[in-house]
Amino acid sequence: MPVLSPFAIYGKLANVYEAQGRLKVTYMAGLLLFALAVGAAAYFCYLKRPAETAGRAMAFAVTRPIIKILLVTPLSLAAGLAVVSTLGLQPGNSRQGMGYMIFAIALVAVIGSAFIQVIYEFDIKGALHQKKHILISGLAAAAIFAVFRLDLLGYDSYIPSPGQVESVAFVPDYYEDANGSIRLDEDGVFLSEKAYAERYMYLDSGEEVCRLADISMEGYNQLWEQYNNGMDVWEETGQEQKEYWSQAMVIYRLKGGRKVYRNLWVNVEDEETARLLDNIIGSAQFKEGYFAIASERMDRIFEQKYQVEAFYGNSVYRKKMGKAEMGEFLERYRRDFGQADFSDLKENVPVGVMELAVSEELSGTYGGTARATRSWEMNMNIYPFYTETIAWLKERGYYSMGQVSLEDVARIQVLNYNTEVSQKLLEGQKTQGGMAATELASWVSSPGEKDTWVYGDYTEAEEIERIAGCIFPRGMVSRDWDNGKMLDYGYNVIVYFKTDSEITKEYGAYADYGFLEGEIPDFVRVDTAYKE
């Protein structure tokens, strides 16, 4: 972000105010200096403005075509982007819908130039004048589009060689989020995952990151080339294609002091990619530069200005932990987490979640009399291979072997949406002819009106125990960057608690759970199968 940009300065000012409830003097001074500079420039232009230009749209005739072209060119490109966004097109990778975008750019270039010329001349006939400005604006927009679309400057394809790189940061999008991934610097200012990594992540594995970028860009370019050639890129003949592309940013710090930022699509199912990610994500530099809680820096921040409460559970059940115990837990958690790599986290499902409820009292701006509280959560997934952490949790009585306590359960209800059957019925209706069938299919596909839903109710102790042993709270397992194990969203499991149980008082009468993909009990599958 440019250091002298007023927008950048205002953004930093807003971040500090949101985090600390105060206006930072240095940023206020920067905005004031910018305002003074703009005011001085405006006053200088005012002094140079000829007296006879009163009543004209532009005081200086020489600036008319320049201002017009500078306005129309970005407006034309913005119109093209609006069309792309509205239609869901991807002109950077595909030629589909290119004509719509080009038409929008040309149309705005014509209308925009004509409209501004009318303002200049205070005459509607001005729309027909200075047609060369339309051509210049259109060519400028086309040139800018071509530079980005065809990567004429080689910016998109440029990756620094390992010899040029001093250090690197690898930043996956929302990785291991655990429903709470806020990051703070030493002053308590919120940072995005990218800003946090840029400040704190210095990987030793620069060559591996460069290699990962190479194979990711090559693979993704091949994917879109196949797509543009009309091939079905999501299926292979006779085999299931193992591809799942997740976005990440790589920040290269070059030896000359320059920084290079690259957005990548990474195929997390590729074997070589997984091997590289094991080394990158498994490193201490990555963990401390991406996960704020992995660094002891957060302990010092907590001690200085925040109140922290710790809870262990699974988003349904939770037990409060003492402050001294929280320190013991974090010590063991960091050792276990430090041994984990990409494949470990991808191939396992959390057995619990540690929640840190962090709060801070903020003073108002009126003599400190008005007060408010700012709060958020920092959560950590606990995996079954965290042996030291789990042993400590068991010793202190926090750990539970299952995700639901059997003595709390009154009954379990399983809903099978029978998605495949529903899709077949929908496709059948679409082929029955005409618009009427298409409209009929659209409302039949509405989830609340499907006839394929089948419920199963279970009250027997043995059935409840079998189901309870393979379900997870929906709030604990969600799709992640690594495309790891997921819940089967073709089923929904509702656990109804006994009215006199403690969990009913603390959480509610029921909770939503789910089965992992491929782990639905056979008797549940049979009971809830669609029958014509």
Tell me the Ramachandran region of residue 361: left when phi exceeds 0, alpha when psi lies from -120 to 50, beta otherwise. Answer: beta
In a domain, 174, yes or no: yes
**Residues facing residue 239 across a β-bridge:** 236
Label residue 323 by pLDDT band (50, 70, 90).
confident
**H-type alpha helices, 259-414:** 271-281, 284-290, 297-305, 323-339, 342-346, 387-395
CA distance 74 to 140: 9
In a domain, 328, yes or no: yes
Q: Which of 129, 150, 171 is the last residue of a domain?
A: 150
Q: How many domains does the chain have?
A: 4
Are 135 and 166 contained in the same domain?
Answer: no
Are 292 and 179 contained in the same domain?
Answer: yes
Residue 52 scores a pLDDT above 80? no
CA distance 298 to 292: 7
Are 17 and 87 contained in the same domain?
Answer: yes
**Residues facing residue 320 across a β-bridge:** 311
pTM score: 0.76
CA–chain centroid gap for 32, Å, is: 34
Structural domain that includes position 59: 6-150
Mean pLDDT of 56-83: 80
In a domain, 512, yes or no: yes
Residue 264: CB atoms within 10 A of its CB come to: 20
CA distance 80 to 107: 10
In a domain, 429, yes or no: no
What are phi and psi for residue 118, nearest 5 degrees?
-60, -40
In a domain, 319, yes or no: yes
Residue 307: CB atoms within 10 A of its CB come to: 13
Residue 506: CB atoms within 10 A of its CB come to: 11
Label residue 355 by pLDDT band (50, 70, 90).
very high
Q: Which two tokens stand for residue 432?
A: 């029955």
Are 27 and 143 contained in the same domain?
Answer: yes
Are 248 and 340 contained in the same domain?
Answer: no
Are 124 and 169 contained in the same domain?
Answer: no
Q: Is 106 helix (H, G, I), strand (E, B) or coil?
A: helix
Q: What is the mean pLDDT of the chain?
A: 83
Strand 245-254's sheet: what is its strand order?
Answer: 165-172, 245-254, 259-267
In a domain, 12, yes or no: yes
HSE, side-chain direction, 13 A CA sphere, residue 418: 21
Q: Percentage of residues in the chain with pLDDT exceeding 70?
A: 83
Q: How many residues does the chain have?
A: 532
Label residue 152 by pLDDT band (50, 70, 90).
confident
Q: State residue 22's pLDDT score.
A: 64
CA distance 397 to 319: 9
Q: Is 201 helix (H, G, I), strand (E, B) or coil?
A: coil
Mean pLDDT of 457-463: 96
- Highest mean pLDDT (candidates 4-13, 122-131, 155-164): 155-164
Identify residue 417 by its one-letter amino acid code: Y
Mean pLDDT of 105-129: 81
Are 279 and 318 contained in the same domain?
Answer: no
- Highest mean pLDDT (candidates 3-17, 217-231, 252-266): 252-266
CA distance 71 to 255: 39
**H-type alpha helices, 368-513:** 387-395, 419-430, 434-444, 461-468, 502-506
SS3 content of the chain, % helix, strand, coil (to 5): 50, 20, 35
Q: What burial class does residue 134 get, using C-beta atoms within 10 Å of its C-beta: 0-12 exposed, 13-18 middle, 19+ buried?
A: buried
CB 379 within 8 Å of CB 356: yes
- DSSP letter assigned to residue 127: G
